[in-house]
Chains A and B, each alone.
Chain A
Amino acid sequence: MMTSTSRYQRRRIVNRIAWLACLGVTGLCLVALGAILFQLLYSGLPKLSLEVFTSRTRASGGGLGNAIIGSLTMTLLGTLLGTVVGMAAGSWLAASRSRWSGLIRFASDMLLSAPSIIIGLFIYALVVLPSGGFSGWAGSIALAIIILPMVIRSTEDMLRLVPAPTREAAYALGAPRWKVLTSISFRMVMPGIITGILLGCARISGETAPLIFTSLNTNQWNWFRLSDAMPNLPMTLYQNMTLTGYDMDKVALAWTGALLMTLMILVLGIVSRRLARTS
């Protein structure tokens, strides 16, 4: 009786220790998250003013207006390009019974998990070298390739959710395939696909590595001139933090930019989550 009680005690204690350990590591994660968010607000808020949005980056500080516009342009263009090709490829994969679909799915997975710096180098070798210079086009194409496999996957997954009888009913009424796809299948699962696109958009709007080799950066205003080097937020942060040898003013501006970028990504994430819940 003694031994069984002590054994029971021991098992209870082990269980309690495991519970505490799990609680501890979860707490550690939340503390890290809190520390990062705190630092973003603490270092980013003091510099936040209207000037950040209206003036361009200068050697002496200035604002982030040109970088914000450039980032928005390239992110939107990249998302658009990636979405058009990705939705087409995704619907082919969902409909196809071809034996090649396995290969294409595999290639898409490879692309999905390729480090983003590699995509940047690829576009450097493919677009920047032949065209003779860094450009907004190259940056947008690099971002499009990063979002592409994400759109493919969400489009295929979503289209597979459309029940076969729904589509068959439409075919039986004599509707052609393209009509069924565009006005029945897509319409049913559009919120799900848009969720995937928004998450991809959030991911590419924070990407820095591929832009080093494609759009580079400039501290001039570039009003949507995609054939030139294009200012953008992530590269501006990178350069403010590394090239200037700790000019405190530029570091503070970089934190403000980081705060704006993270806020935008969080908003995209929240919107996509809402959308996913309603669908």
Chain B
Amino acid sequence: MMTRRAPSKRGDRVLALTTGAAAWSIPALLVALLLSLAIAGWPALSQHGMEFITGTVWAPVQGQYGALPALYGTVVSSLIAIALAVPVAWGVASLLTEWCPVRLARFIGSLIELLAAVPSIVYGMWGSMVLCPWLQRLFPSIFPAGSGIASAGIVLALMVTPLITAMTRDAMQQVSPLVKESCYGLGGTSWETLRHVVFPSIRRSLAGAIVLGLGRALGETMAVSFVIGNNVFLSMSPTHQGTSIAALISSQFSEADGSQRSALLALGLLLFIITTVVLAIARMIQRGGKQA
């Protein structure tokens, strides 16, 4: 529905055409992405069917491709990351908005943002060279190998904390000062204001930020593939070595061909569907908040 008048000059027609083409290339890219992954992964998907998702054995030599170990590692490492990151992010955001002088808050805020700027491969290197040996030395009974699904969760937590902190802080700053001041006026402490006024009023933003962080953690590749251990056998213990979808793809792709490559591309499609569903949920939560 173009309600505008058609551009009369040639320059305007060129402008409308080129910008329109650029805009329409975005959904086209998305459709092409889905189609190309589906086509490239089709041989593996059609051969294994549901077995592809429920199978527990990933053995390229025998032509067996079961994604469950990778799926398990992806989900569990991301949930561990969120469980660690959310309390930290809320604490930091509370400190920055309620308990900290503005200049100091801005300084600490930009330091935390620095954490978000560090490239993910550096997190992976740091995790494998510093964090994993450290965990192994301090808790040898819990982290027998140092690396593992829980170690990946810790590194992921470091990566998503700045994201969740920034979104939480922005939401907290949207809370009207009038409401907060009336709580202080009634004699409430900072904690009581946070607990009974600020947090309840931004529930949806908080939930949206958490789910968005989860989406980021699910798709992270480099940091995870360094520390998760790359063990394709299903081990239910979260502190043991495992693998994730992204880590499995990145570690096996270069040596793979034929059916294995197809299976890895199908895994990519699976990951894309999972993250898309998670992000759609995040968006629904946040949009619901705006209308209510």
Residues of A within 8 A of B115 (CB): 29, 32-33, 36
B14 contacts partner chain A, Cβ-Cβ < 8 Å: yes
For B201, what are the chain A residues with a Cβ–Cβ distance below 8 Å?
none
Complex contacts, B99 vs chain A, CB 8 Å: 19, 22-23
Indicate which residue in A117, A122, A202, A262 contacts B250 across the interface (CB closer than 8 Å).
A117
The A-B contact count (CB < 8 A) is: 239
Contacts of B253 in A (CB 8 A): 212-213
Q: Pick the residue among B4, B21, B33, B122 that contacts A258 (CB under 8 A).
A: B122
B59-67, B135-143, B170-178, B213-221 - the one binding chain A: B213-221
CA distance A68 to B156 in the complex (A): 27
Does A39 lie within 8 Å of B129, measured CB to CB? yes
Chain B residues near A115 (CB-CB < 8 A): 218-221, 246, 271-272, 275
Known interface pairs A23-B95, A93-B23, A178-B11. Does A125 touch B226 (Cβ–Cβ under 8 Å)? no
- Beta-carbon contact of A92 and B268 below 8 Å: no
Question: How many A residues touch B, CB cutoff 8 Å?
Answer: 88
- Residues of chain B within 8 A (CB-CB) of A208 are 119-121, 221-222
Q: Choose among B32, B39, B190, B272 the residue that contacts A15 (Cβ–Cβ < 8 A).
A: B190
Closest beta carbon of chain A to B129's beta carbon, Å: 7
Interface bracket on B: 35 or more
Q: Does A269 belong to the interface (CB within 8 Å)?
A: yes
A255/B118 in contact, CB under 8 A: no
Known: A32-B115, A266-B114. A15 touches B122 (CB 8 A): no
Q: Which residues of B contact A107 (CB under 8 A)?
A: 26-27, 29-30
Question: What residues of chain B lie closer than 8 Å to A95, measured between beta carbons?
Answer: 19
A interface secondary structure, majority:
helix
Does the CB pair A96–B191 fall under 8 Å?
A: no
Interface code A207-245, partner B: CB below 8 Å = 1, 0 otherwise? Answer: 111001100100000000000000000100110011000
Which of the segments B49-57, B86-94, B144-152, B202-210 contacts the partner chain?
Answer: B86-94
Residues of A close to B192: CB separation below 8 A? 11, 15
Q: Does B161 contact A (CB under 8 A)?
A: yes
A40 to chain B: closest residue by CB: B122
Q: What is the minimal beta-carbon distance from B219 to any residue of chain A, in angstroms?
A: 3
Answer whether residue B9 sits at the interface, using C-beta atoms and an 8 A cutoff: yes
Docked complex Cα distance between A207 and B221 (Å): 10
Q: Are A24 and B32 in contact (CB-based, < 8 A)?
A: no
Write the A31-75 contact mask toward B (1 if CB under 8 angstroms, else 0): 011011001100100000000000000000000000000000000
